[in-house]
Structure 1
């Protein structure tokens, strides 16, 4: 049994009508199917506004989907009652992008990290403090930091505190929502290595949400590419990113700068801003930016086609 199954999930936002104006409908997530096996990391990649974080919030139960189901540990998380959700949440944690907003500035480190422990575990004050000290050591912080406050830490250190809080209950799945994007490059590498180490140590599973396709390829076992609410490509064990086939995936790769500036790199000038001309899509979402668009792309939403073992894309150009 898979740890997490996302089945045909859609999330639509509707704006209020104002006088004679029309109601605006935004399809943030559209008929998404995903599976995460226990002990694996799924990397979800896409540019800002593609619906990655919205999907993450639906999985976490912070947003209700308009359609579809989120099955976590064999139970429908979205339709579970409060008591059952309380039990499931112990095994489902999150690390957000904004580490400063994820902690209470009036609480010290001990109180921040011990919050989930107090909610779920009945420990004495001495046992609770010992647990917090162990967690600080695991994430690479000094035990003397236990009485410090958030303003006394750097961004990377604060994110380590957030990670310590997320692993406090040894959950099954952690949603990492742009967890490294606001950090310096050198600190990003440290956090990625820490996450990989914790994954092995505690047999964790991750949903790693990011716009950084190279970071995703470093940490993830599987990669899913998302564009305007839809998954357009999924691939297992991608070691060479050049193996990605979808036109949008290739655009994402083209946007990655060369680590050796003196060699130079040609940047695709056609990588423009997202433009949505229709409120509800009836064909391929990517048609307005695709150089290979055909007549069928205007009329029919592409379905997944297998291009190799464990590798499938949603594109008419590859399926015909």
Structure 2
């Protein structure tokens, strides 16, 4: 069974600059159908405004499509009641671009990572702290960091903390929405390697959303290219990346630098 199936997803926004102007409709997502298999990283790449992040929000349930279905683990996410949705959500996690706004600065790192654990499990304080410390080790941080605050960490370290929180419940799918784009080049490599390691260890599926086709090429097993709300090209074999033909794909390819060196 496919882990995620999108069927004819459409999303339109009505916008206007002032009360005197007639509303304009913008089709952010146009009739998109996709399938993601278990254990696969699907890259969604496109320029700013292509609709890729809107699609991610629809999959997460943060936006409701005007048309179409989002089937996760065989269930339509937008037809579930609150209890059913909560049960399913433990298998669907997200890591956003802004690692700073994704954490509460008033909470300790231990409390931040433990948040999803507390929502779904009943653990003693000792069991919870042990689990959080193990998660910190998994993402390359020290177990002693559990009592520190976000202000004591760099952007790359905070993104590791967000990743630790995302894997806390051992989900089936993690959506990575520009998860490395705000980081320095070397830190990007380190985070991409971490994500690749965790994918293999936990048999995770990823939806990797990015404007950076180089980063997508580094981690994805397959990709789709979006432009103006549509999928304009797809690729099942990343070894054939240079065979992409659409003008937008070629523009993205032209920005590729020498390949990232793998660190493991």
TM-score (norm 1): 0.79
Structure 1 CA distance, aligned partners of 2:169 and 2:162? 13
1:290-309 deviation line (CA, Å, top 9, x unaligned): xxxxxxxxxxxxxxxxxxxx
Matching residue of 1:181: 181
How many positions carry a matched residue from both structures?
A: 259
Q: Distance in 2 between matches of 1:56 and 1:90?
A: 17
Query: How far did 1:66 drift?
Result: 0.6
Where 2:65 maps in the other structure, the secondary structure is coil
Which runs of no fewer than 5 residues in structure 1 stay unpaired?
Answer: 260-320
RMSD: 1.3
Q: How many Å separate the matches in 1 of 2:183 and 2:154? A: 10
> What does residue 77 of structure 1 align with?
77
State the partner residue of 2:119: 119
* CA deviations over 1:39-89 (Å, ceiling 9, x no partner): 000000001111111100000001111110000000000111111110110
Question: Deviation of residue 238 (structure 1)?
Answer: 1.6
1:207 and 2:212 correspond: no
Tell whether 2:194 aligns with 1:194: yes
TM superposition shift of 1:240: 4.1
1:141 is matched with 141
Report which of the two structures shows the higher radius of gyration computed on alpha carbons.
1
Instruction: Give the alignment of 1:24-39 within 5 angstroms.
Output: 24-39=24-39
Aligned residues of 2:181 and 2:210 also touching (Cα < 8 A): yes
Structure 2 unaligned spans of 5+: 260-264
Q: Secondary structure at the match of 1:78?
A: helix
Structure 1 residue aligned with 2:162: 162
- TM-score of the two chains, using structure 2 as the length reference: 0.95
Cα distance, 1:152–1:17 mapped onto 2, change above 3 Å? closer
1:153 aligns with 2:156: no
Q: Greater relative contact order (Cα 8 A, min sep 6): structure 1 or 2?
A: 2
> Structure 1 or 2: larger helix share?
2
User: Where do 1:100-119 residues align within 5 Å?
Assistant: 100-119=100-119
- What's the offset of the Cα at 1:256? 3.0
